[in-house]
Amino acid sequence: MSPEGFRAWRKQMGLKQKDAADRLGLKKRMVQYYEKGERNGVPVSIPKAVRLACYAITNGIDDFDGKHVTHVSEDQITQD
């Protein structure tokens, strides 16, 4: 996933950076680094776990405890 693809995913989901960070279990600053593609001039790649979490959220999965799936409810999605 490229920085542009990550930003496009977030916007497609209707999430602000803070909301995306909360849903992905990240700090808002990491979302900003992923969207920029760098941190202090050093390239930053989006980890596989984050890419998979984006896929899960896109498909209505909010959490997984190893046995049970928690689905995303419509009121959890924030419109920009």
Q: How confident is the model at residue 74 (pLDDT cuts 50, 70, 90)?
A: low
pLDDT at 65: 85
pLDDT over threshold 90, residue 72: no
What pTM was estimated for this model as a whole?
0.82
pLDDT over threshold 80, residue 64: yes
Domain 3-76 has CATH 3.20.20.80: no
CA distance 46 to 79: 24
Average pLDDT over residues 11-15: 95
Locate the domains of the chain by residue range: 3-76
